[in-house]
Structure formats: C-alpha cells, structure tokens
C-alpha cells in the first residue's frame, strides 16, 4: 500500500483520490475549502454507484481509505506520492509546490496535473525538483487507466521509472 496525498477536492481531485483508494492505497485528500472537503463523501458514494451501474466495481466499497484533511502539512507528511489537482494558475501552483516539497519526505514524488502550464515554471521554488513531474489523468478517471506523464526540466529519469511501483 502506498500513502498518497491528493491536493484539491474539485471534480478531478476527488476522482483521483477515489481511483487510488479503489486500488487499495491510503489516500489523504487535502483542500483549504471546508465545504469542498465536506462534500467528498457524497461525491465518492455517487462515483461508487456509477461504477456499480457500469459494472466497474466488483466490491461494494474501495479497498483503500480516504481521509479528508484541512492542513496541508498533515496530508503530505508521510506521503510516498503527491498528486496536485488545483486550479490551473501558475502562482497558486508555485506556492503550493514550494510548501509541499518543504513538508513531504525527500523521496516523495510530487506530480502536477496541469493542462497548459510549464512544469519547470511550476516547480521553480520547490525543493527536490528532480522528484517532480507532470501527471495528468484522462477523464473519466475510473474508466481510462492510462495517465499522461510529462517530465519537467528538473525531473530525473529515476522519478519517471519509480512511478507508483
């Protein structure tokens, strides 16, 4: 089991957290918006019902657990992998990456889920830049198992090879 932090409780963040929990991982879901955090359980239950109706969910529940946290430090403290899924705004992502990489373990891989921003620019103030990468889930997350991996200017080959193995 891998300890995963997902940052952002929007549509994509909740689905990424659900996908990781479905496969047995411990997921810490962070958002500074308490309303968004409080809506996570209902969104996950809706996703489970949809997956059951589509024949995608063989169990009645996910194997892993999802914990909702309002403190970033608690979400990333013991994470093996961090998925950032916040609004596609460069200053917001830069601030978040700077904070995350100061709080997470030095061997933690930190991934941004950007559609249009330069990954190298996002991580310019981060520590352990070689452990950062662009990683985009395709939608619908539960239905498409592939992800798009985009190395940044600092991403090491080892980070790409390590992934979630």
Q: Is the pTM of this model over 0.85?
A: yes
Structural domain span for residue 26: 3-162
Region 113-125: mean pLDDT is 95
Q: What is the DSSP letter of 5?
A: E
What is the reported pLDDT for 36? 95
Q: Which two three-digit tokens encode residue 162?
A: 């390590």
Q: Are 137 and 16 in contact (CB under 8 A)?
A: yes
pLDDT digits (tens, 9 = 90+) for 20-40: 998 899 999 999 999 999 999
Asked if the peptide bond before residue 140 counts as cis, ω within 30 degrees of 0, the response is: yes
pLDDT digits (tens, 9 = 90+) for 66-109: 999 999 999 999 999 999 999 999 999 999 999 999 999 999 99
What is the number of structural domains in the chain? 1
Q: Which two three-digit tokens encode residue 99?
A: 């904070």
**Residue 69: which CATH number?**
3.40.50.720
Both ends of the chain: CA-CA distance in Å?
10
What is the reported pLDDT for 69? 97
Instruction: Please choose, from the candidates 99, 109, 149, the residue with its C-alpha nearest in 3D space to the C-alpha of residue 129.
Output: 109
In angstroms, the CA 133 to CA 36 distance is 26
Q: Are 23 and 51 in contact (CB under 8 A)?
A: no
Q: Which two three-digit tokens encode residue 151?
A: 């190395």
In angstroms, the CA 71 to CA 81 distance is 17
What is the reported pLDDT for 145? 78
Instruction: Please choose, from the candidates 88, 43, 34, 35, the residue with its C-alpha nearest in 3D space to the C-alpha of residue 66.
Output: 43
Among the ranges given (9-18, 47-56, 99-108), the one the predictor scored with the smallest mean pLDDT: 47-56
Instruction: Please choose, from the candidates 30, 128, 130, the residue with its C-alpha nearest in 3D space to the C-alpha of residue 83.
Output: 30
């Amino acid at each position: 089991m891998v300890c995963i932090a997902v940052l952002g409780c929007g549509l994509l963040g909740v689905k990424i957290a659900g996908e990781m929990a479905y496969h047995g991982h411990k997921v810490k879901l962070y958002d500074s918006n308490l309303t968004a955090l409080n809506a996570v359980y209902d969104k996950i239950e809706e996703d489970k019902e949809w997956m059951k109706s589509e024949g995608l969910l063989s169990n009645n529940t996910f194997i892993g657990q999802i914990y909702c946290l309002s403190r970033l430090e608690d979400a990333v403290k013991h994470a093996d992998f961090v998925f950032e899924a916040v609004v596609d705004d460069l200053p917001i992502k830069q601030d978040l990456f700077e904070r995350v990489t100061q709080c997470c373990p030095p061997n933690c891989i930190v991934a941004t889920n950007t559609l249009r921003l330069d990954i190298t620019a996002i991580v310019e103030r981060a520590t352990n830049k070689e452990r950062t990468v662009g990683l985009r889930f395709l939608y619908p997350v539960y239905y498409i198992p592939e992800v798009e991996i985009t190395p940044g200017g600092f991403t090491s080959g080892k980070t790409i090879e390590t992934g979630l193995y």
